[in-house]
Structure 1
Amino acid sequence: MLKLLIVDDEESFRQRLANLFQRKGFQVSEAATGAEGLALARKTRFEVVLLDIVLPDRDGVEILRQLKEASPEIQVIMMTGNATVENAISSMKLGAYDYLIKPFNLDELFILVERAGELNALRRDKEILQRERDWQRKFSDLVGESAHTRQVLELVAKVAPTDLTVLITGDTGVGKEVAAKTIHWQSERHSKPFVVINCSAIQDTLLESEMFGYAKGAFTGAAQDKRGLIEVANTGTLFLDEIGDVSPDFQAKLLRFLESGEYRAVGSTHFARSDVRVIAATNRDLKKLMEEGKFREDLFYRLNVFNIHLLPLRERKEDIPLLVEYCLKKICFRIGKCAPGVRAEALAILQNYSWPGNVRELNNVIERAVILSSGAEITAEDLPSDIQRGIPPKAPENRPQSLADLERIHILAILEQTGGNKTRAAEILGISKKTLYHKLREYGLRDG
């Protein structure tokens, strides 16, 4: 509901306008003086103001200036029965949306107010989007001081200015999407869209239409054309997460696009083009999948033009202090509760833990600790008990602990923790339900 403020000292005229806009569904407030109008504007965020230039206590142009200073996106329509060129010029220079001379047509006024409200909404949406982009950019950089992370940052800096296709590999939660965003922000496409498709979170039957779009009548329920995300990402970056989970049929269509830059929406007979830079990521061994006949060799080489591999956090623990500091800043920015630091004993516990969930798990632990913390710093008592004890459980002592062992043990531990709730377990693990079910089958735990 659009909020409208009417500031005019002529009561009968003001109430006539108020009744008109209330009947049209607006939320209307009234003020007879400039002071009353400013007081109301401080309490309520109005989209549009109808402001008389001649008021009993002060000049309407001065009220306009104060309104725009306090809320630049507010749209103010000036009204007067004694128009002067000087007032009109002054009002427009200060950012008035329009300038009306009494008497005016009320139907035209209604249309004008609606358009002013739409402009306000557009500017507010743009502001929200810009804040979101600023937040993403501020907290999308790879962080760390280990030799591995420094090497990754060097690779990112070298590949970002190019348009090469990049394949980012590594365990779940190591920061593959963060690496992709860092490449995007450092590229020439940084001001263009960064679009993410989580290939494992979308059913095979829907993935093609989600990526390439569909034509009206392509299937039951396709009442109109729909743009695919590949078109939404045009001139920007398309990030294909969990690319190792896609079907052979989708692999063939993706390969065609990578080779020619052309694609065809589901149900369409026409080919379209999209200028996107493709970055893909996976936590699976694509070479092994190729040997098993589950992943196309030609697609692998199209994707793996430039490979960046991210090590698990347990193999680069030198990064943990900087990551903790980074997580604290991000959480403070997002939820508004800040913890200036972490006590030495708590940091030591964090550095001694094996982090099977990698950076994602670390971020979740820090966020929980910030919420629980009652002091100036996070203490050992603010950390989960399993983190304090150094869990996850150890593998059998008669053989070395492999990555697969560690992952299997962690999945079992999370499933036990959630009472077998696979949806909740997938959320904690930071993977889709589809990926969780795949891993349960892989480890022979389908009914686990």
Structure 2
Amino acid sequence: MENNISILVVDDDQITRQTLSMSLEDDYNTFTAENGREALEILGREEIDLVLSDLDMPTMSGLELLAEINNLENSLPVIFITGQGTIETAVQAMKMGAYDYITKPVNVDRLMLVIEKTLENKRLKEENIFLKKRIKESQPDLNLVGNSPEMRRITELATQIGATKATVLIEGESGTGKELITNVIHYSSPVAHGPFIKVNCSAFAEGVLESELFGHEKGAFTGAVSTKKGRFELADGGTLFLDEIGDMPMSIQVKMLRFLQEKTFERVGGSKTFKVDIRIISATNKNLEQLVKEEKFREDLYYRLRVVKLEMPPLRRRREDIRPLVENYIRKFSDLHGKPISGITDEVLQLMKDYNWPGNIRELINCIESAVVMSRSGVIDIESIPEYLTYKTVDIDTDMEGGLLQQLERNAITEVLNETGGDKTKTAKRLGIGLRTLYRKIEKYGLED
């Protein structure tokens, strides 16, 4: 007996119900119900894998039972037993989601084959759902955090572009999230389950980059001891992401242009022509139009790459996204480092909103991780953040242990604190010192509230 498989037999005729149950009990766990209501009660308390039901029953028909089963959280495969006069109803049941039907009188051997086939189909569906879940879990974070008009526009465009196989060029400063938007486009595309190959064009010397992209044949150059597939071949059926495309040497730009025109290429040192089906997404932190004017980038290649163009805005142009970004990464790094951080002070959040973030989101992420690690109070406060976020001016501190200079400094801090109503951010700005420096001096001179 396959004790892990349970079948529920539903039939208002006691003899039929018992006969079917006895026919199956050597191979499966069986449960019986004489009507649909009793069947639903059993389904509510037992782990059932398959339902074998009569189609024509009083109180609740087979179709009504099927509708109820379809509404369950875990829908089950249903096989119906029908007489010759209700075959049309059985066909209707199939359209409603029933797996199969058996006509009366029941041939037990055929019934066993149908059950095995149904259970195998159920197993494959569950396995497929599990694999899709694993694939989704293995994908990078695709959440584009932010509610600014800029990010709403980018999100809408990425979704629209993702449904196609168009070649995409993404421009933006370093750290603005160009690779993240590439992930969104790929995983929203018709080739989402295909390969997703990434290569940074600035990370390789000219000769090495050509081999990385197009592959090479054995003996093509010194050290080529075997044939190697390039990124174009590895990306066949999926997406190739060319990061820092603005750093691609002119000699390779020629081969790149040919590929975009003909979808063909040859490996380094080879004569065989390869044809692949891939989507090209490229990104750069440079102004390609300016490079074209300076004749440092091919104009024809630029227009081939720029079928669709996306520009990732710098963080300073969407400051309203700083709060949700900060809160998102506080949660992320709190979990990662096992530190329960409840939030961030208004003072520090304002500093982050005022800062220009030349390194954009990448710099913000690093800052938040550092602050989470350095926090001692369970809150991101002024003592947690990197010093560079406070105003960088000459520190008026002195090594003197006492004397007139320190007295003047203490008086100046006290006076400005009174003028600003105790607002430390305004006080630090007025004094031309960093906020953290101000806190040290307040503690040093005993000026706490």
User: TM (normalized to structure 2)?
Assistant: 0.56
Q: Give the residue type in structure 2 aligned to 1:215.
A: E
Which residue of 2 is the match for residue 80 of structure 1? none
Cα distance in structure 2, aligned partners of 1:199 and 1:374? 42
Give the deviation of 1:379 after TM superposition: 1.3
Q: Is the 8 A contact 2:250 2:296 kept in 1?
A: yes
Give the deviation of 1:141 after TM superposition: 2.7
Relative to structure 1, is the Cα distance of residues 363 and 266 closer, same or farther in structure 2, using a 3 angstrom cutoff? same
Which residue of 2 is the match for residue 299 of structure 1? 301
Q: Give the residue type in structure 2 aligned to 1:147.
A: P
Matched, 1:221 2:223: yes
Cα distance in structure 2, aligned partners of 1:255 and 1:188? 24
Cα distance in structure 2, aligned partners of 1:334 and 1:234? 35
Give the deviation of 1:157 after TM superposition: 1.3
Give the deviation of 1:164 after TM superposition: 0.4
3-state SS, counterpart of residue 205 of structure 1: helix
Matched, 1:268 2:270: yes
Matched, 1:134 2:137: yes
Which residue of 1 is the match for residue 313 of structure 2? 311
Relative to structure 1, is the Cα distance of residues 337 and 237 closer, same or farther in structure 2, using a 3 angstrom cutoff? farther
Q: Is the 8 A contact 1:199 1:240 kept in 2?
A: yes
Superposed counterparts of 1:116-155, under 5 Å: 134=137, 136-137=139-140, 139-155=141-157
CA shift digits 1:230-251 (9 cap, x unpaired): 2222211111111001111110
Which residue of 2 is the match for residue 182 of structure 1? 184
Give the deviation of 1:313 after TM superposition: 0.6
Cα distance in structure 2, aligned partners of 1:235 and 1:337? 42
- State the identity %: 43
Give the deviation of 1:333 after TM superposition: 5.1
3-state SS, counterpart of residue 227 of structure 1: coil
Cα distance in structure 2, aligned partners of 1:208 and 1:295? 16
Q: Is the 8 A contact 2:319 2:353 kept in 1?
A: yes
Q: Give the residue type in structure 1 aligned to 2:238.
A: G
Cα distance in structure 1, aligned partners of 2:256 and 2:356? 37
Cα distance in structure 1, aligned partners of 2:225 and 2:371? 48
Superposed counterparts of 1:11-26, under 5 Å: none
Q: Is the 8 A contact 2:199 2:243 kept in 1?
A: yes
User: TM (normalized to structure 1)?
Assistant: 0.56
Cα distance in structure 1, aligned partners of 2:155 and 2:392? 30
Q: Is the 8 A contact 2:169 2:309 kept in 1?
A: yes
Give the deviation of 1:221 after TM superposition: 1.4
Matched, 1:197 2:199: yes
Unaligned runs of 5+ in 2: 5-27, 29-129, 394-449
Cα distance in structure 2, aligned partners of 1:315 and 1:285? 18
Pick from 389, 398, 405: which aligns with 2:391? 389
Which residue of 2 is the match for residue 282 of structure 1? 284
Which residue of 2 is the match for residue 430 of structure 1? none
Q: Is the 8 A contact 1:317 1:351 kept in 2?
A: yes
Relative to structure 1, is the Cα distance of residues 165 and 269 closer, same or farther in structure 2, using a 3 angstrom cutoff? same
Q: Is the 8 A contact 1:354 1:390 kept in 2?
A: no
Cα distance in structure 1, aligned partners of 2:342 and 2:136? 25
Give the deviation of 1:217 after TM superposition: 1.1
Give the deviation of 1:197 after TM superposition: 0.7
Matched, 1:233 2:235: yes
Cα distance in structure 1, aligned partners of 2:252 and 2:214? 11
3-state SS, counterpart of residue 169 of structure 1: strand
Q: Is the 8 A contact 1:143 1:319 kept in 2?
A: yes
Cα distance in structure 1, aligned partners of 2:139 and 2:349? 26
Cα distance in structure 1, aligned partners of 2:226 and 2:132? 27
Q: Give the residue type in structure 2 aligned to 1:188.
A: P
3-state SS, counterpart of residue 283 of structure 2: strand
Q: Is the 8 A contact 1:353 1:390 kept in 2?
A: no
Q: Give the residue type in structure 1 aligned to 2:137.
A: D
Matched, 1:207 2:209: yes
Q: Give the residue type in structure 2 aligned to 1:367.
A: E
Q: Is the 8 A contact 2:329 2:365 kept in 1?
A: yes
Which residue of 2 is the match for residue 350 of structure 1? 352
Give the deviation of 1:381 after TM superposition: 1.4
Q: Is the 8 A contact 1:141 1:179 kept in 2?
A: no
CA shift digits 1:366-418 (9 cap, x unpaired): 01111111232211211111112269xxxxxxxxxxxxxxxxxxxxxxxxxxx
Cα distance in structure 1, aligned partners of 2:229 and 2:266? 11
Cα distance in structure 1, aligned partners of 2:135 and 2:331? 16
Cα distance in structure 2, aligned partners of 1:236 and 1:362? 32
Q: Give the residue type in structure 1 aligned to 2:233.
A: E
Give the deviation of 1:290 after TM superposition: 0.7
Superposed counterparts of 1:327-346, under 5 Å: 327-332=329-334, 334-346=336-348
Cα distance in structure 2, aligned partners of 1:333 and 1:163? 37
Which residue of 1 is the match for residue 326 of structure 2? 324
CA shift digits 1:402-439 (9 cap, x unpaired): xxxxxxxxxxxxxxxxxxxxxxxxxxxxxxxxxxxxxx
Give the deviation of 1:347 after TM superposition: 1.2
Cα distance in structure 2, aligned partners of 1:129 and 1:197? 26
Give the deviation of 1:340 after TM superposition: 3.7
- More moved, 258-267 vs 158-167: 258-267
Relative to structure 1, is the Cα distance of residues 285 and 365 closer, same or farther in structure 2, using a 3 angstrom cutoff? same
Unaligned runs of 5+ in 1: 1-60, 66-88, 90-126, 392-448
3-state SS, counterpart of residue 266 of structure 1: coil
Relative to structure 1, is the Cα distance of residues 390 and 326 closer, same or farther in structure 2, using a 3 angstrom cutoff? farther
Give the deviation of 1:298 after TM superposition: 0.6
Cα distance in structure 2, aligned partners of 1:350 and 1:270? 56
Q: Is the 8 A contact 1:328 1:338 kept in 2?
A: no
Relative to structure 1, is the Cα distance of residues 155 and 357 closer, same or farther in structure 2, using a 3 angstrom cutoff? same
Structure 1 residue runs of 4 or more that deviate by more than 3 Å after TM superposition: 127-133, 332-338
Report the RMSD for the aligned CA atoms in angstroms: 2.8
Give the deviation of 1:254 after TM superposition: 0.7
Give the deviation of 1:195 after TM superposition: 1.5
Q: Which has the larger radius of gyration?
A: 2
CA shift digits 1:184-204 (9 cap, x unpaired): 121122222221111111111
3-state SS, counterpart of residue 316 of structure 2: helix
Question: How many positions carry a matched residue from both structures?
Answer: 272
Give the deviation of 1:136 after TM superposition: 3.9
